[in-house]
Amino acid sequence: MSRNGLAGAILGLFGVVLGALGAHALKGILSNDALESYKTGVYYLQWHASLILFLAFIFKSEVTTPKYVRWGIRFFFIGIGLFTGSILGLVFLSTLGLNARFLGPITPLGGFSLMLGWFCLILNFLQRLKYRNTDVN
C-alpha cells in the first residue's frame, strides 16, 4: 500500500497547488461560475486524496488489505481522474475559447466512480460486522 500512500500524498500536494492557484492566480482570469467549478474539482480531489492516504496508513500491506478496500481505492483513483480531470479540462479549455463539451459527460462518470469507492468501503464494513456477529454467536 505504500504506492497508494505515495500516490495519495502526490494527489494531496497537487490539490494544494491547484487550490492556491485558484485562490490567487485564477481569480481575475476565470469567471465566477468557472471558478466555482474549479473549486469543486479541487475540493473532491483533496477529500479523496486524503482518504487514499488515510487508507494507505491503516492498511500497510496490499496482502492484508481487504478486497473491498482495494477496490474502493481503485475507484477513488479513477474517480479523481475523471471527475476532477474533466472539470479542470472544461474550465481551462473553455477559458481558452476551445470547445470542451466532450468532457461534460465524463464528469458524472467520475462522480459515479467516487460513489462506487465509498460503496466498496460500506461493503467492507458490512462484511466486517457480519464476521464479528458470527464470531460472537
> Taking 70 as the threshold, does the pLDDT of residue 135 lie above it?
no
Q: Model pTM greater than 0.85? A: yes
Mean pLDDT value across the chain = 92
Q: Could you tell me the CA-to-CA distances from 101 to 40, 93, 94, 135 in Å, in that order?
A: 18, 9, 9, 53
**10-56, pLDDT tens digit by residue?**
999 999 999 999 989 998 889 999 999 999 999 999 999 999 999 99
CA atoms of 70 and 105, how far apart (whole Å): 26
Which residue type, as a one-letter code, is found at position 87? I
Q: What are the residue ranges spanned by the domains of the chain? A: 2-136
Give the pLDDT of residue 110.
98
